[in-house]
């Protein structure tokens, strides 16, 4: 053994001895540390973290984890200002979950709303979350449980999702008494466990990308991801009957994880960012360490963990995390947003780190004999911090909610027969949903002709549904005078069977996957049985600011299996022959131009020329909605096709003629050739 190795072992031994002999903290010391972190985070609530260009959305999962810890701090202190501040967050969001329909991250804030409901009993705090989860159950995801290069996020395909969403389901089940939420939750939890849990190690792989990955011949288990799992197990079990099969299932995993965690805790008291590879990841990380400390202390406080080794690990973990809190209350060494072991720095933090620390403190406080309300002095900087952060937030929200702010937007519209609508500064569209499956409508896409650069979707729907003011008339912003019916509309796809267009029925499920001011991505799922075969299409759509064309990546299956070389017809309606169709197969576009209510409208699609099999026009004079301009293409080896569709409207002034519309499509094709752009998650 080298002298260097001996010295390292000596240092580790001394550190281990010091940590194990760590004094039991006093309740007031724990509470003061929590107070400092809570006050600092509230004061800096609108700071920028993780090198993001803007502060996190207040519905973001990063804040959602902070709210979890903050509500536990509310239980420790008698200071109701914290509770009122948390309530003010919910008021500003109207107690709605974040935008993405199925994404576990966007459900995290539901934990705050349900805890607020427990304090106030106000159904406004409960109902939006319940409606969202009911929708997920009614239209379950058809994606696989594997994350597959980070494209599948509708189910709990990454381990930290077990903190984000399942506790919301468990809380809702307990509050409402409806065990359907627990049944659904446990089925998904078990799918995640079966996929990512290593029963031998008692740890979770972050996602499928790590199942076989090894570093220095060691499995890669991300500390923060496992910390969130461990905390999530505790949060779920708090809501479940202790004599239930669900509780027993989670408890078995919890106990194995707890046993592993005390064995791999570092001598310094923290847990390595790569749990089984501490020597290569020596930098402390406080968010994972805090959640491990929380989970262990939770178990001791409930009589689940009885051995002294667990208490020793808790005090070491708390001391390690607390040692990285600055004098003004900032928790350092919080790893920035990521998905794997990495770096952390003493002067960098994140809101979820503060939440984890507060959660840990709430259980350590009880463990060392603390009783609520904590006997600590009144916070001197809380009021000023709240005032400052609230002022910044209100300024942000005023800009964010400005109805004239140009941006992309998309949403499911249950109040109008399950439409799904999307728009940017130039164009707007909608697809027809489940409520119309018994009608004439199918997989066609409708154009909403807008002539303003700000969002009109919500406004027009509200005018029609609440004031009976029709959006089929132009009152200065545009109108919907574009007929779709059973046609393709603008960019609808259909099977091409025996020279005939066979559209699938209206979408059965919609999933919003990304929503920013600059772009939106969502997936619409279609089904239909044709000649005894069950076909499905997953149509992933992206629309960016400044473009008249929405991008489509569609995946087709037949009888549940990916189907290659399936002929698909993509195109636009020519409205019973009224629109003049032009094909430029060499460039890849097709266009139409027609007069509607006295103004010209150009619609069209673009696809890579090498994927075009043939150009087709269809028209059956005896049947409406059969007149089309189409390109026929074939699915590739992954069952996919790619294309774009959009429109230009003379009344909006940018596109004034068929020639200008075709010039736009030609320029669009040239830009595509340069960038080879396809929708990305």
Choosing from 99, 106, 160, 418, the catalytic residue is 160
> Mean pLDDT of all residues in the chain?
95
Domain identity same for 386 and 460: no
Which pLDDT value is given to residue 16?
A: 44
Domain identity same for 30 and 69: yes
In a domain, 111, yes or no: yes
Domain identity same for 377 and 418: no
Domain identity same for 487 and 421: yes
Residue 8 reports pLDDT greater than 60: no
Which pLDDT value is given to residue 379?
A: 87
Domain identity same for 66 and 158: yes
3-state secondary structure (DSSP) of residue 495: strand
With contact defined as beta carbons under 8 Å apart, do 288 and 266 qualify?
no
Strand pairing report for 599-606 and 640-649: antiparallel
Which pLDDT value is given to residue 621?
A: 85
Which pLDDT value is given to residue 676?
A: 60
CA angle 617, 651, 656 (to 5 degrees): 65
Domain identity same for 381 and 437: no
HEC assignment per residue over 330-381? CECCCCCCCCCCCCCCCCCCCHHHHHHHHHHHHHHHHHCCCCCCCCCCCCCC
Per residue in 469-517, pLDDT (tens digit) is 999 999 999 999 999 999 999 999 999 999 999 999 999 999 999 999 9
Domain identity same for 354 and 468: no
Comparing 23 with 646, the larger pLDDT belongs to: 646
Per residue in 587-614, pLDDT (tens digit) is 999 999 999 999 999 999 999 999 999 9
- Of 369, 400, 431, the residue at which a domain comes to its end is 400
- For residue 422, the domain's CATH number is 2.70.98
Query: Is 134 a residue of the active site?
Result: no
Residue linked to tokens 């509770």: 83
pTM: 0.92
Domain identity same for 494 and 365: no
Which pLDDT value is given to residue 674?
A: 80
Which pLDDT value is given to residue 11?
A: 36
Confidence band (pLDDT; 50, 70, 90) for 23?
A: confident
Arithmetic mean of pLDDT, 355-367:
98
Domain identity same for 107 and 204: yes
Domain identity same for 344 and 464: no
In a domain, 439, yes or no: yes
Domain identity same for 524 and 595: yes
In a domain, 588, yes or no: yes
In a domain, 4, yes or no: no
Which pLDDT value is given to residue 610?
A: 97
In a domain, 2, yes or no: no
- For residue 29, the domain's CATH number is 1.50.10.10
- Of 400, 418, 443, the residue at which a domain comes to its end is 400
Domain identity same for 567 and 589: yes
- Of 335, 367, 400, the residue at which a domain comes to its end is 400
Q: CA 110 to CA 60: how far, in whole Å?
A: 11
In a domain, 478, yes or no: yes
Arithmetic mean of pLDDT, 313-334:
98
How many domains in the chain? Answer: 2
Which pLDDT value is given to residue 677?
A: 52
Arithmetic mean of pLDDT, 285-299:
98
Which pLDDT value is given to residue 21?
A: 45
Q: How far is CA 2 from CA 5, 6, 9, 216, 278, in A?
A: 5, 6, 11, 21, 20
In a domain, 1, yes or no: no
In a domain, 14, yes or no: no
Confidence band (pLDDT; 50, 70, 90) for 22?
A: low
Arithmetic mean of pLDDT, 370-395:
94
Expressed as residue numbers, the domain containing 392 is: 22-400
Residue 14 reports pLDDT greater than 50: no
pLDDT over 70 percentage in the chain: 96
């Amino acid at each position: 053994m080298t002298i260097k190795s001996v010295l390292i072992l000596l240092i580790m031994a001394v550190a281990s001895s010091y940590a194990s002999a760590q004094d039991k903290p006093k309740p007031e010391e724990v509470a003061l540390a929590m107070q400092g972190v809570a006050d600092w985070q509230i004061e800096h609530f609108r700071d920028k973290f993780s090198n993001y260009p803007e502060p996190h959305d207040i519905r973001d999962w990063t804040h959602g984890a902070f709210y979890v810890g903050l509500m536990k701090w509310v239980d420790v202190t008698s200071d109701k200002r914290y509770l009122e501040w948390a309530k003010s967050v919910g008021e500003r969001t109207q107690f709605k979950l974040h935008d993405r329909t199925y994404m576990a991250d966007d459900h995290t804030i539901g934990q705050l709303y349900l805890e607020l409901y427990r304090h106030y009993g106000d159904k406004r705090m409960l109902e939006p979350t319940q409606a969202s989860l009911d929708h997920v159950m009614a239209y379950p995801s058809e994606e696989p449980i594997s994350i597959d290069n980070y494209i599948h996020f509708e189910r709990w395909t990454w381990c930290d999702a077990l903190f984000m969403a399942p506790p919301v389901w468990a809380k809702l089940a307990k509050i409402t008494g409806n065990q359907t939420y627990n049944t659904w939750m446990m089925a998904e939890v078990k799918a995640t466990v079966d996929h990512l849990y290593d029963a031998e190690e008692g740890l979770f792989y972050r996602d499928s990308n790590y199942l076989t990955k090894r570093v220095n011949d060691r499995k890669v288990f991300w500390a923060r991801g496992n910390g969130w799992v461990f905390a999530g197990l505790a949060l779920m079990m708090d809501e479940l009957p202790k004599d239930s099969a669900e509780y027993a299932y989670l408890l078995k995993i919890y106990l194995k994880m707890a046993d592993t965690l005390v064995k791999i805790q570092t001598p310094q008291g923290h847990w390595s960012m790569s749990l089984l590879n501490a020597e290569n990841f020596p930098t402390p990380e406080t968010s994972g360490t805090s959640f491990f400390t929380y989970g262990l202390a939770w178990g001791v406080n409930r009589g689940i963990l009885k051995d002294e080794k667990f208490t020793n690990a808790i005090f070491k973990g708390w001391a390690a995390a607390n040692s990285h809190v600055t004098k003004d209350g900032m928790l350092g060494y919080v790893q920035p947003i990521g998905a794997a072991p990495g770096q952390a720095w003493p002067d960098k933090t994140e809101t979820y780190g503060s939440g984890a620390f507060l959660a840990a403190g709430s259980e350590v406080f009880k463990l060392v004999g603390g009783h609520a309300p904590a006997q600590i002095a009144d916070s001197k900087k809380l009021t000023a911090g709240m005032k400052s952060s609230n002022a910044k937030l209100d300024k942000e929200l005023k800009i964010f909610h400005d109805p004239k702010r140009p941006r992309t937007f998309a949403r499911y519209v249950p109040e109008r027969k399950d439409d799904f609508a999307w728009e940017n500064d130039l164009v707007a569209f909608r697809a027809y949903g489940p409520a119309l499956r018994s009608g004439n409508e199918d997989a066609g896409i409708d154009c909403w002709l807008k002539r303003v650069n700000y969002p009109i979707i919500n406004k027009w729907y509200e005018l029609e549904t609440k004031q009976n003011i029709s959006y089929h008339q132009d009152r200065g912003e545009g109108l919907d005078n574009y007929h779709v019916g059973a046609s393709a509309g603008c960019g609808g796809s259909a099977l091409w069977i025996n020279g005939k267009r066979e559209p699938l029925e209206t979408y059965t499920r919609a999933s919003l996957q990304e929503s920013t001011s600059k772009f939106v991505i969502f997936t619409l799922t279609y089904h239909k049985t044709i000649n005894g075969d069950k076909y499905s299409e997953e149509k992933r759509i992206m629309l960016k600011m400044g473009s008249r064309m929405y991008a489509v990546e569609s995946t087709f299956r037949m009888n549940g299996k990916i189907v290659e070389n399936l002929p698909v017809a993509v195109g636009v309606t020519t409205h019973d022959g009224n629109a003049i169709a032009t094909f430029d197969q060499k460039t890849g576009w097709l266009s139409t131009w027609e007069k509607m209510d006295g103004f010209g409208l150009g619609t069209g699609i673009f696809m890579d020329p090498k994927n075009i099999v043939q150009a087709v026009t269809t028209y059956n004079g005896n049947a409406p909605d059969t007149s089309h301009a189409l390109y026929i293409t074939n699915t590739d080896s992954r069952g996919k096709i790619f294309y774009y569709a959009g429109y230009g409207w003379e009344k909006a002034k940018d596109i004034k003629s068929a020639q200008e519309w075709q010039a736009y499509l030609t320029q669009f094709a040239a830009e595509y050739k340069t960038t080879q752009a396809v929708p990305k998650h």
